[in-house]
Amino acid sequence: MNRQSFKAVLSTILALLFLLLAATGVLLYFGKTGVIWGFSRQSLREIHFWAAASMCVFIPVHLILNCRLYLAELRVLMKKEKLVSDRGLPEKKNGK
C-alpha cells in the first residue's frame, strides 16, 4: 500500500470513528434509560469509549502524515503565503 492509499484509509477510519463517537454520544445524551436501538447504556458507553480511544491513537498518526500540508495551511492562515489550489501547497512570495 502506498503512502497516499494509507492516508486515504486512515482518513476514512477517522471519519467513521467520529460518526460512531457522535452517534453514541447523542444516544447516550438523549436516551436516558433502558435499551436504545438494541444496545444497553453500558454497551453504548463501551463503544463510545473505544471509539474515542481509537481516535486518540489515529489522530497523531494522521497529523504526522499530513504535517507538510498542515504547516502550509498554517502559513496561509497567517497570510504569509498564498495557497496554490491544484496541489494545496503554498506559493512563495516574490523574492523569497
Q: Is 54 exposed, middle or buried (0-12, 13-18, 19+ CB in 10 A)?
A: middle
pLDDT at 90: 59
- Return the bridge partners of 89, or none: 84
- H or E stretch including 59? helix 41-65
pLDDT at 91: 61
Answering whether pTM is above 0.95, one says: no
Range list of β-strands (E), the chain: 82-84, 89-91
pLDDT at 47: 94
pLDDT at 82: 63
Residues in the chain: 96
pLDDT at 14: 96
Q: Is 76 exposed, middle or buried (0-12, 13-18, 19+ CB in 10 A)?
A: middle
* C-alpha to C-alpha distance for 78 and 75, rounded to whole angstroms: 5
C-alpha cell at 76: 496561509
Domain chopping of the chain, boundaries: 3-65, 68-96
Question: Mean pLDDT for each 10-residue chunk of the chain (96 residues)?
Answer: 90 96 90 78 93 96 90 82 59 56
pLDDT at 89: 60
